[in-house]
Amino acid sequence: MSNFDLVIAGGRLIDPEAKTEIIANVGITDGKIDAVTHDTLQGIAYIDGSGLVVGPGAIDMHSHGQDGENYRVQALDGVTTALELELGVENIFRWYQEREGKSLINFGASIGHIPVRMKVFNDPGQMLPLASAAYKSASKKEIEEMKGLMRLGFSEGALAMGFGLAYTPGASRWEPIEMFRVASEYEASCHVHMRGSGALDPLSSIDGLSELLAASLISGAPLHLVHINSSGHPVIPELFSMIEDAQAKGLDVTTECYPYTASMTAIDSAMFSGDWQSRQGLDYCDLEWVETGERLDARSFEEYRKIGGMVIKHFMDQDMVDMAVSSPLTAIASDGHLKNGKGHPRTAGTFSRIFGHYVRSGSISLTEAFRKTSLMPAQRLSHLSPAFKKKGRTTVGSDADLVIFDPKLIEDTATYSHPTLPSRGIKHVLVNGTFVVKDGDIQDGLFPGKGIRGRG
């Protein structure tokens, strides 16, 4: 009998890759799962896992809040790896350097079309473009400059290529094809907020997905469609059929969703330019100002659009969200972002909501929930980043990025009024074998999170 750094005894161990559930003892050494057995194990530290579920921590592929505030909230929701893959970043080297040795959980980023476009166009926006990068068409020279910055990002370890085409209406149809071609050079997936949305023509979500499938087919780059629930509503079934047919014909296409009926975005973005109400099928009263919780009208909309800030868009039907969550096609990703305690409850509650609501209601099985929250993201990214072959799994040799929770108690508690409330029922969270949550509490002063990079 070896002396392990940590033993988790008698827990209900879930392996989403093998689709198994067993009562087992788990030995952890040097941040890795070193033993899975029915035999008694000896360890320096010990957890009684009786009655608890032990599984791989969530890998959130769509997490905008890449700082300590957001990492704490996400760790309490069972997240062990948070990735900024939709918008991405412009300077990969600097972004990773800023977080090394300072992160509670693992982190990573894509090279992003939006921030690269903002640099090329010298746009004054912060997270999203406000001026020329949003509305201006790129010349051939500017497209070549963007392609060069994309290649630099991959050479520095970017995990993927990110796009927010809904926020760059000035980008031609040719421009993303050229960017996809760069991603294909590195066999990197393109994580895209599509240009179209909903069912209304022109530029419905059918049009938006058609553009992306064409770019993927032309370039050979894998496609990952972000938040199919909010972009596709109410034609999610049609989008699923398009993805299924594309997969059947050999196209590498995946998607994700989050389990809430509202989205969140910046009020001063291009999404609210022009006749946004007709285009999106929304009205002022569907918008909630994050800072105060008030619903907007014409006057307050114009006032807040001038100063900038985040709004929550209430527009999705619960049955469409449930369909998206239950589909075998979707991974789960939060699209979360908190700032000074303000934001959307999905940052704090996405993953416990999956296990608390959807598993307990019987919509999906426990093993399927772990496949969606952990294994599918790891599989999506493992080709460009071999580190993910050791994540999202509970087999011997896998990284000890684990969540341990009470399946009868786990639930999200965050609300639109109180978006940072921590989830219930999560007992322990381990990142690279180190407790970041122990007995339900954040472990302050510990930074075991590692930057996960592509091959470069």
Give the tens place of pLDDT for each residue, 192-219: 999 999 999 889 999 999 999 999 999 9
d(CA 204, CA 196) in angstroms, rounded, equals 5
Containing 330, the helix (H) or strand (E) segment is strand 330-332
Model confidence pLDDT, tens digit, residues 356-366: 999 999 999 99
Q: What would the two tokens of residue 242 be? A: 């398009």
Neighbouring residues of 231: CB distance < 8 A, sequence distance ≥ 6: 166, 193, 194, 196, 197, 205, 208, 225
CATH superfamily ID and name for 58-390 = Metal-dependent hydrolases (3.20.20.140)
- In 3D space, the residue among 394, 426, 399, 438 whose CA is nearest the CA of residue 25 turns out to be 394
pLDDT in tens, 365-396: 999 999 999 999 999 999 999 999 999 999 99
Q: Among all chains, which residue has been given the structure tokens 């020279």? A: 141
Burial class (CB in 10 A: 0-12, 13-18, 19+), 439: exposed
Local confidence pLDDT in tens for the 456 residues of the chain: 579 999 999 999 999 999 999 999 999 999 999 999 999 999 999 999 999 999 999 999 999 999 999 999 999 999 999 999 999 999 999 999 999 999 999 999 999 999 999 999 999 999 999 999 999 999 999 999 999 999 999 999 999 999 999 999 999 999 999 999 999 999 999 999 999 999 998 899 999 999 999 999 999 999 999 999 999 999 999 999 999 999 999 999 999 999 999 999 999 999 999 999 999 999 999 999 999 999 999 999 999 999 999 999 999 999 999 999 999 999 999 999 999 999 999 999 999 999 999 999 999 999 999 999 999 999 999 999 999 999 999 999 999 999 999 999 999 999 999 999 999 999 999 999 999 999 999 999 999 999 999 997
**Which of these, 245, 254, 174, lies nearest to 221 by C-alpha position?**
254
The predicted model scores a pTM of: 0.98
> Do the beta carbons of residue 40 and residue 401 sit within 8 Å?
no
Q: Which of 423, 229, 256 is nearest to 313 (CA)?
A: 229
Fold topology of 3-56+395-442: Urease, subunit C; domain 1 (2.30.40)
For the chain, which residues make up each domain, given as ranges?
3-56+395-442, 58-390
**Predicted pLDDT of residue 2:** 74
- Residue 1 has a pLDDT of 53
